Amino acid sequence: MTSTTDHAKATMKAVRIHAFGGPEELRYEDAPRPVAKSGEVLIRIHASAVNPADWKLRSGFFGKDIPLPITLGFDFSGAIDALGEGVTRWKVGEEVYGYGLGAYAEYMNVKESMTVAKPKSVDHIHAAAIASSSLIAWKALFEAAGLRAGQTVLIHGATGGVGGFAVQLAHAKGIHVIGTASQRNQVYLKELGADEAIDYSAVRFEDVVRDVDAVFDTQGGDTQARSWKVLKRGGILVSIAEPPSQAEAEKYGVRATMAVNEMNAESLNAITQLVDSEKLQVVVDTILPLSEARRAQELIQTGHTRGKIVLKVM
């Protein structure tokens, strides 16, 4: 193993949970510093983004059979600190980013395949805000929905962390974008590239939208239930909020699926190119120190952030 740090210091600062529950379960504490095993890299984390999946994991939404304590956080940006046996793609010191559990910490170890080269045009704070939100938007729009230039998509929560990337990615591919957002975000939504902006507090979207090829549902609940009627026959509803009803899809003559996030280096490299060519803007709403992860999770749980919340680690 090659390293730039003194691994005799076997601890690091991390935000962990020892029980499932509310934000009060988050502990900023000393934790064992991980070691890069075979096929892994050890990353010195500079920044980690905060996502809804973080508080859902903390609350037990994904199940409570996960061994505790556990370090939270999925999005990271940092530099290679050590190489596990067999790793040849990276050198110590190279800047990388990606998606993998354990990013609310000063160090994390991940498989070599879970990392790609950091965009050159943005700092670590903005790089950390990219991976999970852009990857799930990419997967929903282009893999699950199979959208192509000239088609139309309705994106709910279009100025949130995921929605903002979805609007920009669809726009970059020549897709007609209709987005829903609050009144205060209407101008911002157009700036992101939406062709039509709907103020959900003033207009019921199903009264003004018809025959779209796809709905990207980031909200679930009543919003999802009202979305079926805006799809054209043969269209598709893709949700990241809750599994859509197959019975409702059949009733309306459409398709429905749930998109689940995963690290995909090929897709993230394509996203990196869009960032570096200035076709994809990374919007950071709030920057907080790692020690304030509890406040960050409380903020994101309101569901009203514009862009991303990022924890500065080092």
Give yes or no for residue 154 having a pLDDT over 70: yes
CATH (residue range 2-130+282-312): 3.90.180.10
**How does pLDDT run across 71-126, given as a tens digit for each residue?**
999 999 999 999 999 999 999 999 999 999 999 999 999 999 999 999 999 999 99
Give yes or no for residue 7 having a pLDDT over 60: no
Where do the CATH 3.90.180.10 domains begin and end in the chain? 2-130+282-312
Looking at residue 87, what is its pLDDT? 96
Looking at residue 9, what is its pLDDT? 61
Residue type, 208: V
Looking at residue 301, what is its pLDDT? 86
Q: What is the mean pLDDT of the chain?
A: 94
More confident position, 51 or 8: 51
In the DSSP assignment, the letter for residue 51 is -
**How does pLDDT run across 121-137, given as a tens digit for each residue?**
999 999 999 999 999 99
Listed residue (107, 115, 165) closest to 140, CA to CA = 165
265 contact partners, CB below 8 Å, separation of at least 6: 98, 113, 114, 115, 116
**How does pLDDT run across 31-83, given as a tens digit for each residue?**
999 999 999 999 999 999 999 899 999 999 888 999 999 999 999 999 999 99
User: 155 has which bridge partners?
Assistant: 179, 216
Q: Tell which CATH classification among 3.40.50.720, 3.40.630.10, 3.40.50.10610, 1.10.3720.10 matches the domain 133-258.
A: 3.40.50.720
Where do the CATH 3.40.50.720 domains begin and end in the chain? 133-258
For 206, half-sphere exposure in the C-beta direction (CA atoms, 13 angstrom radius) is 10
Give yes or no for residue 262 having a pLDDT over 70: yes
